[in-house]
């Protein structure tokens, strides 16, 4: 039976035994890893929590970070500035075990999201003998705001509170994971979408050098991500305060007294909120590429992209939803002729990729995820070829780490009795974030939301979840009985999760060669090809 109590350095905690398919696991929810960042601690580095006496019952989620409520049911409930808590799922029977540790970071950009409602997904890894820990953090204006007033108070720099929270949480993991049966010498960090920004920042920060073995990125290898310097970040912070009708020059004591809800503004899009890390000589000097170059040596990566998540035109989102598609054959060829330039004729694109009015939209969207898309927005992160080239980067830069790349093209069935049909773009493709059911093996008919999962869906989900568990444990996803998945370091290899599990090796034909030449030139990474 899994342990139900654990002694952290701050006090003893008691969790809840799970049941059903997760029997044998215990979940601890709402463990504090820092003081509440409220009052004078709003926009300040996090502080270690206070010790407590007795046993703290950890049987429910702590409040989510302050954020706007999105959608008919909201993305989070009970949100609060008092949000620096973590959850643990373990199957260890004693604190003498040394199970691999996986730190999971939720999606939602750097503006929304929470650790809530993740038990079924993350338990799939705990069932494989992994201690899974979810870290919460401040978000949006509370986690990313830079201002001259804050910089003056904090030694010439401000912002990055979200990264400081993550580092404080990571410190907690290093000090306490063993109490839950975890091995602090075998830590993997991972996330989906915005969680990959956090995971890559943690792994590449000089503050964690040598302490993280692996990174899992579901739709978001952040190798090429840019981030503002201090002066630019301060101007962005000032502009946000003006946008919500606040005085950007107000003293900090006044700004810290503004009710939290007011700082979210009224009718402000999450896409207009502060959502960036700042270059910082101690925490994160330069951009992501610089930190990867300096601080990654032995870290392995498992990176995924989905078939319907990149955008051909790198359009800026103003609201959640799916992009429209190329509408016909003429639009398709006109778009790619402009995009590819001289490569269009060099590769005889009109004969290389043949489409009709009916297939133009789907083929265009798939090509975008494979690597043929306008630069900007999230496209570099959701580009299969960028991920494949990243493997060659690790090899040629003398890094010991491996990069395992997956392209998940298998669609998911629609929800039962869903009044909104799937957008046309997603009828035969997989949306951003839609891979979770396969990755975490929750493609199960009885789990909400109800979907008509086939036996093949479930079989593929179980297999992929095994890959993920193996990677977290050892850095190698492979095991007997599964198709062998080669790292991209070796001849651009990757795994496609489509009608079945297909392993790809090398550049397979002229289209692959075109995508490689286009992508490497577009992002200035041809030196690794």
Closest CA to 203 of 224, 193, 192, 217: 217
Three-state secondary structure readout of 76-140: CCCEECCCCEEEEEECCCCCCCCEEEEEEECCCCCCCCCCCCCHHHHHHHHCCCCEEEEECCCCH
Tokens of 364: 């265009």
**Cα-to-chain-centroid distance, residue 241:** 27
**Hey, CA dihedral for 324, 330, 334, 340, is it positive or negative?**
positive
* Helix then strand then coil, % of the chain, to nearest 5: 35, 15, 50
Q: Tell me, what DSSP letter sits at residue 437? A: H
Closest CA to 168 of 25, 41, 287: 41
CA–CA distance, 22 with 123 (Å, rounded to integer): 7
Distances (CA, A) of 81 to 37, 42, 85, 159: 6, 8, 11, 16
First-last CA distance in the chain: 51
Phi, psi of 388 (to 5 degrees): -70, -40
Q: How many CB atoms lie within 10 A of CB 11?
A: 16
Is 193 among the catalytic positions?
Answer: yes
Distances (CA, A) of 275 to 110, 162, 197: 5, 10, 10
Catalytic residue (one of 118, 193, 219, 486)? 193
What is the edge-to-edge ordering of all strands in the sheet holding 5-7? 5-7, 12-14, 55-57
Catalytically annotated residues: 193
């Amino acid at each position: 039976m899994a342990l139900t109590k654990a002694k952290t350095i701050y006090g003893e905690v008691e969790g809840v035994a799970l049941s059903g398919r997760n029997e044998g696991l215990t979940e601890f929810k709402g463990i504090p890893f820092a003081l509440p960042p409220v009052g004078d601690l709003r926009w300040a580095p996090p502080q270690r929590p206070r010790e407590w006496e007795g046993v703290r019952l950890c049987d429910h989620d702590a409040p989510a970070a302050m954020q706007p409520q999105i959608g008919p049911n909201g993305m989070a409930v009970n949100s609060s500035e008092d949000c620096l808590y973590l959850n643990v799922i373990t199957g260890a029977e004693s604190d003498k075990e040394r199970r691999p540790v996986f730190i999971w970071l939720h999606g939602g950009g750097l503006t929304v999201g929470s650790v809530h409602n993740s038990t079924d997904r993350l338990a799939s890894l705990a069932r494989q003998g992994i201690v899974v820990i979810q870290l919460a953090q401040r978000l949006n204006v509370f986690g990313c705001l830079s201002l001259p007033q804050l910089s003056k108070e904090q030694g010439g720099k401000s912002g990055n509170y979200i990264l400081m929270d993550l580092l404080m949480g990571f410190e907690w993991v290093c000090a306490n994971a063993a109490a839950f049966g975890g091995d602090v010498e075998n830590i993997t960090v991972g996330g989906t979408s915005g969680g990959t920004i956090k995971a890559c920042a943690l792994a590449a920060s000089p503050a964690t050098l040598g302490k993280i073995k692996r990174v899992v990125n579901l739709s978001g290898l952040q190798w090429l991500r840019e981030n503002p310097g201090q002066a630019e970040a301060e101007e962005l912070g000032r502009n946000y305060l003006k946008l919500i009708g606040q005085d950007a020059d107000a003293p900090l004591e006044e700004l810290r007294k503004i009710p939290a809800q007011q700082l979210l503004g009224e009718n402000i899009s999450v896409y207009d909120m502060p959502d960036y890390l700042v270059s910082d000589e101690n925490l994160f000097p330069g951009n992501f590429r610089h930190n990867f170059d300096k601080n990654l040596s032995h870290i392995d990566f498992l990176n995924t992209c989905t078939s319907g998540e990149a955008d051909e035109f790198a359009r800026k989102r103003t609201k959640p939803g799916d992009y429209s598609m190329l509408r016909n054959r003429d639009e398709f060829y006109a778009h790619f002729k402009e995009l590819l330039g001289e490569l269009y004729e060099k590769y005889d694109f009109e004969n290389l990729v043949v489409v009709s009015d009916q297939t133009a939209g789907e083929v265009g969207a798939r090509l975008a995820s494979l690597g043929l898309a306008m630069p900007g927005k999230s496209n570099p992160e959701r580009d299969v070829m960028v991920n494949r080239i990243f493997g060659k980067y690790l090899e040629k830069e003398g890094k010991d780490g491996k990069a395992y790349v997956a392209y998940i093209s298998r669609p998911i069935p629609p929800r039962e009795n869903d009044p909104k049909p799937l957008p046309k773009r997603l009828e035969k493709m997989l949306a951003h974030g839609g891979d979770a059911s396969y990755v975490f093996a929750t493609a199960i008919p009885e789990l909400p939301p109800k979907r008509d999962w086939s036996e093949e869906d479930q079989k593929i989900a179980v297999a992929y979840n095994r890959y993920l568990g193996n990677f977290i444990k050892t850095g190698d996803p492979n095991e007997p009985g599964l198709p062998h998945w080669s790292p991209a370091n070796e001849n651009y290899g990757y795994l496609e999760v489509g009608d079945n599990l297909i392993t790809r090796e090398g550049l397979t034909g002229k289209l692959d060669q075109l995508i490689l030449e286009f992508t490497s030139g577009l992002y200035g990474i041809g030196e690794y090809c």
